[in-house]
Amino acid sequence: MLRARKPALIKNDLKKMIDAAIHSDTKVILMGVPEPQQLLLRDAELYSELADETGVLYLPDTFSDVLSDDSLTNDHLHPNANGYAIIAKKIYGAIKETL
């Protein structure tokens, strides 16, 4: 996204990765990345579309929520330790629910 790649290309690449993981009997959790052009950070639509198309577990706005809070980031692009801790808890919660 930050390299200004077209969403269709990003979606196609991610679909290939998801398909490869599913084909190798690997469970997939999809977390979206916010669109940099938006005033309010929210995941790009392509992530929810991919989750619907592939049936993988999707954790919406995980990064977006963390990156929207200045106290959870180092530079508005990368979470700090507290931000990563929140992301890890969300991932853990999703994994725990699927077991």
Number of domains in the chain: 1
Query: Given this model, what pLDDT does residue 1 score?
Result: 58
Beta-carbon contacts of 46 under 8 Å, excluding residues fewer than 6 positions away, are 7, 10, 11, 14, 32
Query: Given this model, what pLDDT does residue 76 score?
Result: 78
- Residue 52 falls inside a structural domain: yes
Query: Given this model, what pLDDT does residue 99 score?
Result: 77
Query: Given this model, what pLDDT does residue 97 score?
Result: 87
- Residue 1 falls inside a structural domain: no
Residue entry with tokens 């959870």: 72
Question: In terms of residue numbers, what domain contains 32?
Answer: 7-98
Q: What CATH number does the domain containing 28 carry?
A: 3.40.50.1110
Query: Given this model, what pLDDT does residue 33 score?
Result: 87
Convert 34-52 to b/e letters by CB count within 10 Å (16 or more is b): beeeeeebebbebbeebbe
Whole-number Å distance between alpha carbons of 43 and 88: 18
- Residue 64 falls inside a structural domain: yes
List per-residue pLDDT tens for the chain, 99 residues long: 557 788 899 999 999 999 999 999 999 999 998 887 666 788 989 999 999 999 999 999 999 999 999 999 998 789 999 999 999 999 999 999 887
